[in-house]
Amino acid sequence: MTERLRNDLDTFADEHGYTGRSEVIREACQSLLEEYRQSDDEDRWVLATVTAIFGYDEPEIERRMMDIRHEFEASIRSNSHTCLEDNAGCVETFVIEAAHSDVLQFIGTVRGVDESIAVEYTVTAVDVMNAEISRL
């Protein structure tokens, strides 16, 4: 664990009333494991948007993003890379359409690129999305 991550965990623990970083880590692990437990979407085809935010001029991270694009190209419907103003960072956005388990694998792969990456995502079952669109 890097010193920066330890410091961030300690700061987070202090600001949010945790007894220490181990309590933060335990809760984060429980939340992560809960995400991957059985869900209503487990046997469904889903649409996901996945956004990864990372530092500007990080060639290793950018190379891994390119590798991920190739590895999951059959499921990627859209992908964009944006550099933030004044080189404040980069944003990589993916739209994925695949089986729920494949989407979870994609999200896990992006998260695993580097601990400095912030990853946000949404997952919607395609049949639910189609029903919502038809109501419009």
Instruction: Name the pTM for this structure.
Output: 0.69
3-state helix, strand, coil in the chain (%, to 5): 50, 25, 25
Let me know whether 63 and 128 are in one domain. Answer: yes
Give the residue-averaged pLDDT of 49-53: 96
Give me the residue label for tokens 């220490």. 20
State the residue range of the domain holding 3. 1-37
The residue that leads in pLDDT, 30 or 103, is 103
CA pair distance 21, 7, nearest whole angstrom: 9
By residue count, the chain amounts to 136
Let me know whether 66 and 127 are in one domain. Answer: yes
Q: Report the domain count for the chain.
A: 2
CATH number of the domain enclosing 101: 3.30.70.1150
Q: What is the reported pLDDT for 18?
A: 81
Question: Looking at 22-125, which runs of residues are DSSP E strands?
Answer: 45-54, 76-83, 90-99, 118-125
87-103: pLDDT as tens digits: 899 999 999 999 999 99
